[in-house]
Structure 1
Amino acid sequence: MLVSLFTCPLCHSPMQPAPDTWRCDGSLNPKQTAHTFDVARQGYVNLLPVQQKKSKAPGDSQASIEARKRFLNAGHYQVLQALIGQQMQQLLAKRGLEDEPSKTPANWLDIGCGEGYYTQAMAELESGLIDNLIAADISKPALVELAKVSKTTGKLWYQQDKDTSAGTTIIYPLVTSAANLPLSAHSMKGISSIFSPILPRAFAEVLTDDGYLIIAKPDAGHLASMREALFDDVREHDSDKFLQELSSEFTLIHTHRVSHELTLSANDLSDLMTMTPYAYRAKSEKRQALLDVVARQAFSTEAKFVVYVLQKAPNLSDAITHLL
């Protein structure tokens, strides 16, 4: 049973999962009444109140999700998926004070998880490393896809009592905002943000004191030949521009870079454009001209990624209080 892992997005009272309806206990609600959130038939839970939405249907569209599924499942970004899994494995299996691998299960948050390409790989890490994997995104269609796959693999959260064995990672697909995470303070051992928003204060709040943050971004030169074909003025990726704003809450401990040559068909390239901001930033005639060329000959470009591994910085005031 999860004890106060989840909190109500409306009143922040502790909330417990249940197969049909999640209900907070109302203890922090001035009216002392409980809020309820129904479980969708696919298995995700919508914890994004209407007052926290900036549009009627926030997040990625169904077309973008379908394009990303096809592109990623073809293995084009597998090198990034593997690198992230490797870094998580190393962090969670770190040796303890007695030089023995730590086997204490951890809670992990994959923020901006989309349809779950990276999330599903996280759930397949060494047994026992991750207990609860919180998959959060603002897009309801994306969470529908993730919940379906999680259920097929027997990892969906409400299957844990009847279908899963000890050591299995349990996935909780949640529609929610990164700025208003429905999670208890200091409840997450780690957070992964893969091409997703970076919110230092919100992340630090839900991480344990020694928690980790893994950030993946496009590196300089990412998809350079494609961007040159689509735009007259190509702006280079400034991948580390957010590190300064993170410095008050986190310490950078590792930086990793990985690249992969891509040879894309017209369908692959169309999916890649649809799943990225290029779908609306590039002029339609530029997109079509590139697709016409690729229809006759495969297109080559290079995917380049940078992965930052950070650790939550000690809270100096808390440390002084503890010493006193």
Structure 2
Amino acid sequence: MSLFICPLCQSPLQTATDTWRCDGSLHPKQTAHPFDVARQGYVNLLPVQQKKSKAPGDSQQSIDARKRFLNAGHYQPLNDLICQKMTALLTAQKVSLSQKDRPINWLDIGCGEGYYTQAMAQTGMDMLIAADISKPAVVELAKTSKALGGLWSQQAKDSASKETVKAAAIYPLVTSAAHLPLRAHSINGISSIFSPILPEAFNEVLSDEGYLIIAKPDMGHLATMREALFDDVREHDSDKFLQELAPYFQLLETHHISSSLNLSAEDLTDLMTMTPYAYRARNEKRQALLAEVAAQPFATEAKFVIYILQKTATR
């Protein structure tokens, strides 16, 4: 049974290396919709009617800044902790699914350019669907995955040639988090790293007792930077969404992690560009801060909270 469904008519969507195509079984006229695979390896499953702007999601400038900042290792402790917890969950899932011989499918929602996604692919799932509404972000992720040999199409060829495949097959998709092109209850786990939290959509695609991992900024995250940029600093209310998730999920674990940062002017510029601070702060505030950092590195602290939840049994 196909894991994917057509974003236009919800018919089963079959994958292929050149064009994905639905069977049209749920379309009034039995129309089969095609979706071409881009040369980078991603598939655009975002219909025009689901776009709220001409170019939704992160801009290329924001993506480039985040790529430089994250690849410099500033958030590596968070990445390590996410993958550590994910590995433990997937090990437990494999034990429970071993007799059923079922693959483990994971969804990384709001994957961006794929910094966390690439690490997740090493934690033990079989299929990793990397979804984001930003086409430029998914293009970056697909290009990196292709360079590392982790694309779904590459892994299919490796399996056919009997080469050992250890990492998950990555499926980069341009899609809306609110309208996921996935069959109901087909996903064993979802990660949302600084990305949308959509309780009903997650509940729809997640299998019974499936896991949800959420990472958010914690109280005090980048406090000195925000104090320098804003007259009125509002504290992060990291767990405000837990009540919305309560009808579908139970909270299993909460983990807090922090790391000290000493940022150059270039690092700080990238950090501002990859966050909402880039447009929320007044220009004179940003310039004053950058001028100060030109003389000496800027000290701040990154603070994060990770929530691990599990879908409650269907009533």
TM-score, normalised relative to structure 1: 0.93
In the alignment, what sits opposite 2:282? 283
Deviation of the 1:168 alpha carbon: 3.2
In the alignment, what sits opposite 1:83? 81
CA distance in structure 1 between the partners assigned to 2:154 and 2:206 by the alignment = 26
Is 1:93–1:103's contact at 8 Å kept on the other side of the alignment? no
Is 2:158–2:165's contact at 8 Å kept on the other side of the alignment? no
Q: State the Cα deviation string for residues 56-95 of structure 1 (Å, max 9, x = none).
A: 0000000000000000000000011011101111111117
Question: What runs of 5+ residues in structure 1 fail to find an aligned partner?
Answer: 317-324
In the alignment, what sits opposite 1:136? 131
Deviation of the 1:314 alpha carbon: 1.2
In the alignment, what sits opposite 1:48? 46
Name the Cα RMSD after superposition.
Answer: 1.7
In the alignment, what sits opposite 2:311? 312
Amino acid at match of 1:218: P
Alignment map for 1:223-302 (pairs within 5 Å): 223-302=222-301
CA distance in structure 2 between the partners assigned to 1:74 and 1:212 by the alignment = 30
Alignment equivalent of 2:108, drawn from 95, 107, 110: 110
CA distance 1:10–1:134, change in 2 (3 Å): same
Is 1:92–1:102's contact at 8 Å kept on the other side of the alignment? no
SS of match in other structure, 1:160: helix
Question: What runs of 5+ residues in structure 2 fail to find an aligned partner?
Answer: none
Deviation of the 1:162 alpha carbon: 2.2
Alignment equivalent of 1:158, drawn from 153, 173, 179: 153
CA distance in structure 1 between the partners assigned to 2:158 and 2:140 by the alignment = 20
CA distance in structure 2 between the partners assigned to 1:283 and 1:249 by the alignment = 40
Is 1:95–1:101's contact at 8 Å kept on the other side of the alignment? no
Runs of 4+, deviation exceeding 4 Å? 95-98, 100-104
CA distance in structure 2 between the partners assigned to 1:32 and 1:92 by the alignment = 39
Amino acid at match of 1:268: D
Deviation of the 1:16 alpha carbon: 0.9
Deviation of the 1:101 alpha carbon: 11
Is 1:259–1:303's contact at 8 Å kept on the other side of the alignment? yes
In the alignment, what sits opposite 1:65? 63
Amino acid at match of 1:65: I
CA distance 1:19–1:95, change in 2 (3 Å): closer
Amino acid at match of 2:28: P
Amino acid at match of 1:136: A
Deviation of the 1:102 alpha carbon: 10
Deviation of the 1:104 alpha carbon: 5.5
How many percent identity over aligned positions? 73
CA distance in structure 2 between the partners assigned to 1:8 and 1:239 by the alignment = 34
In the alignment, what sits opposite 1:37? 35
Deviation of the 1:167 alpha carbon: 3.6
Matched, 1:146 2:135: no
Is 1:93–1:101's contact at 8 Å kept on the other side of the alignment? no
Amino acid at match of 1:232: D
Q: State the Cα deviation string for residues 256-297 of structure 1 (Å, max 9, x = none).
A: 000000000000000000000000000011001000000011
SS of match in other structure, 2:24: coil
In the alignment, what sits opposite 1:322? none
Deviation of the 1:19 alpha carbon: 1.1
SS of match in other structure, 1:86: helix
